[in-house]
Chain A
Amino acid sequence: MAYKTKNVDVLVIGSGGAGSSAAREAADLGASVLVVSKDPIVCSDSKISEGIVTVRASGLRADTEQNLADNVRIQGDDISSTSIVKRFARDSRSAYQWLRTQGLKPATHTKLGEPQALNIPMGGHTHARSVDHQNGGLDYAHACWNALNQSNNIEYLEDAWLLDLFVSSNDENKVGGGLIYRSTRGQFLSVRAKAVIIASGGLSTLYFPNTDTMRGNTGDSYAIAARAGAQLVDMEQVQFIPFSVAAPPSYQGLVVGEPVLAGAMGVIRDNNGNVIQRGIMSKTRAQCAAVIARAVANGQGTENGGCYLDLTGNTRGQAGDAYVALMNDKIGGILKIVRGAMGVDAAKFKQPWEVKPSAHYLMGGVCANENGNALDQQGNVIAGLYVAGQALGGLHGSNRLGSTSLAEAIVFGRTAGKHAAKHSRSINDEERSEFDISEARLIDFYNTVITDNHSNDASQSPIALIRKLQATCWQGIGPAREERAMYTTLERVKALKSQLQNSHVEKGLVWNQTFIDYVECRNLLFVAECISKSALARTESIGAHVRLDDKAKSFTLLRSPPFSIVCNSDQKDIISVDKLTRQASPFLSYLKLVLSQKTKALFLTLVSFTPQWCRDVVLTRIYQQALNSQGEK
């Protein structure tokens, strides 16, 4: 098979927030950088996000690194890595500063030019530290575009799929480039790189159409890194956003709300109209998703597998106007989706919204240290391999706080870029024949897929297998899980794996959709197995999914030591899991956070039972304060 070759210092996979900041950082340090992106550059989850970024002490409010680190760790049930969380807390401000040098402008700022956070603590934060932008993720994406396009050391290829990494044939864990499928040119491209940064995380397409993320989220980062010897962590921790569109199909999965935006009177109702959750504002995304998932599993769900988010109570009385004004100002984009999917009255809060959870983010990922070095099964650094953004595991634990991902992308993108550039300088240009065997093996493997996979059975097309897998995963390893169903999922994954080997892949190299689907299906199957096995190893409900067969109490002061589940793949792609003990947060910090959450819940309960006039006074003030984050300009 004909293929082209290329040599660079640093190869970056992905071009969202993490990929573009990693590339730019490495390029600014003098490295030659090649970015490969299977979608056109910057057309990533960063771009389609709400565009709200965690910036510690934004507006110079009192907010220490310790505050932020404690917040992240405790909300994530202490199963995150202390060193990674610490790095995140340390660098969120400098990450935002970097974005501003690339052209990002905060929606509001103080007189001194400090970015001003929204006045409400977002999804699980103890402090108001989430900075928003006029056009949401588009503003962020244009900044990333500038980062990629304003350096002469960066080259990029769009429509370029990383297939697998080259590993050393010597007796050491080392990565030296990768094989790329360049679909628009109908070529395989072998890239020899001194360092590789994987910044193409995400696997939510495993749950399509119950997802609000990009089509390309097919778990590539995790499967490819694991096949090159990296350990994966917290793979069962898929974040499901509770309030997403249940129907019609054109809108299914798109997010229509956050707990913090549910207002004091917002409730969740089951199919019969019974209230199954009050005080939504004091709940995390995970808690709300669990309520809906449980109701659906108990047969109280709607035909489309959802429940109702009823915000109509917020519009009553004088506070109603303030609430509607706040929502129109802050979530105009969301209301547009509601209008399209559920009609005008729904968008005016006159009707409850039919909602169900949707897959949004993988909180786990590739095991790494705080510098972004990928780690192997023994916890040793894999030389030349770095991860950043959603691909990196260990930051969020079991619950990602709102707006942290866009900060995380830059914090760890820049970190990985810096260390990869440094590493590339330490490597001589001499013949790197230790990667030849791996390269030849991969070219042979993918060549065989194109020449030999020609089943004539149309039902065996890779896309048909992907659809089967997606339905299986939503049922078995979606927001509601139980042991028996997960064993069934594993059986089905195994069957689909062998069907994929005999599926129909067309010949030809120019944008071969069946080949693309084959490659992505293989990665999806890999992560489906990791999620299933990790989720089976964790018998209690923690994280954004609920174990229907969980016997443990949800709140207890006697905490067992926290642990993560890690996954490893052997030479024959057999995945095994293990436990990794984590450090528990100090008891007092834990108590403080739990109490503040309980106080908030109590406050909301009290408000909902006070007379209307009193409620109006309190709530109008709260909503107006939230609306006027501009007030301190």
Chain B
Amino acid sequence: MSNDFVINIVRKSEQGQREEFYNFRRDDETVRPMALDVLLQAQDSSMPSLAYRYGCRNGLCGLCTIDVNGKPKLACRTKLRNGDKLSALSSLPMVKDLVVDREQVNKQLRGKLPVRNGELNPQISSDLASYQRLNQCIECYACLSDCPMHEKNENNIESDNQFGNPYALLKIQQVRLDPRSSQQDCDEAIDLGEKLGMQECLTCKGCRCGVGIDLKKEVIRPLLKSMKEST
């Protein structure tokens, strides 16, 4: 049937996983729906217990990241094709259906980043421009997928993460770019990066940001350079 628009939704629970095929009802057949449109309609019609996250519907809050055909995408801004497969982000511990546990990613940094206390007056510098560019991060956690450092974690809801990820390194690099940081703050930031295992980055091809920040150029390379200099 040419009118069919069937999306494979992978539903997971403690009992295991099953694929449910949802036939999306299109009001306008020329418009491709966003993944979130499909999830909303599926829950409203035949899957009232479907678990999924979303927030702003505008690519800003970073909550609705799921795997679309195995790649991390924002559900609210990813247009689907007939036959696409939606599943929970594979890089974080599964909770239910499309929901993963995100808590450890932030908690790993809690109380660990140096607190900057320098002068408030902003100085215009290339560092400041880069600092502001890193603020484009919406915490969608797409960058965790395929990260060799993050892959060393147990991916288990019960155990704390030992190893970092590109998001953690972004927060670390931001400390170093902040004109308010002292030399000691910058050194501590590098130490934290090493503790989280950023040596892995030396042999990695590079990471992919969900909103297009050039992580390799703005985060990884400068950090690796400082790491080498400090050893």
Q: Which residues of A contact B (CB under 8 A)?
A: 39-44, 47-48, 97, 100-101, 103, 105-106, 109, 112-113, 134-135, 137-139, 142, 145-146, 149-152, 154, 156-159, 183-185, 212-216, 248-251, 253-254, 337, 458, 461-464, 467, 504, 506, 510-514, 517
Contacts and interface: CB of A to CB of B under 8 A. Distances in A.
Given A43-B62, A214-B61, A511-B96, A467 B55 contact: no
B76 A461 contact: no
Nearest to B99: A511
A504 B48 CA distance: 9
B48 A103 contact: no
Interface string B111-150: 1010110001110000010011001111100000000000
Contact of A159 (B48, B60, B103, B132): B103
B227 interface: no
Given A41-B106, A159-B101, 11 more contacts: A40-B102, A44-B61, A106-B122, A139-B132, A142-B174, A150-B113, A215-B57, A461-B49, A511-B96, A513-B51, A514-B49
Interface in B69-106: 76, 95-97, 99, 101-103, 106
Nearest to B132: A134
Contact of A137 (B44, B60, B116): B60
Interface stretch (B33-41, B193-201, B202-210, B215-223): B33-41
Given A39-B55, A463-B43, A510-B96, A458 B48 contact: yes
Contact of B44 (A41, A42, A464): A464
Contact of B103 (A137, A149, A158, A214): A158
A628 to B, nearest CB: 16
Which of A135, A216, A253, A462 gathers most chain B CB within 10 Å? A135
Contacts of A458: 46, 48
Contacts, number: 147
Contacts of A337: 58
Nearest to B102: A40
Contacts of B113: 146, 149-150
Nearest to A159: B103
Which secondary structure dominates chain B's binding surface? loop
Contact of B120 (A40, A47, A100, A512): A100
Contacts of B33: 250
A138 B34 contact: no
Contact of A40 (B56, B111, B139): B139
Contacts of A513: 43, 48-51, 96-97
Kindly state the interface size class of chain B when it binds its partner: 35 or more
B98 to A, nearest CB: 10
A205 to B, nearest CB: 11
B111 A151 contact: yes
A214 B55 contact: yes
Interface in B173-203: 174, 178, 180
Given A106-B122, A150-B113, A184-B95, A514 B62 contact: no
Contacts of B48: 458, 461-464, 504, 513-514, 517
Contacts of B54: 215
B58 A248 contact: no
Contacts of A213: 56
A138 B133 CA distance: 11
Contacts of B138: 47, 138
B103 A48 contact: no
A467 B128 CA distance: 46
B121 A112 contact: yes
Contacts of A101: 120
B179 to A, nearest CB: 9
Contacts of B58: 48, 212, 254, 337
Given A40-B139, A138-B135, A248-B31, A113 B103 contact: no
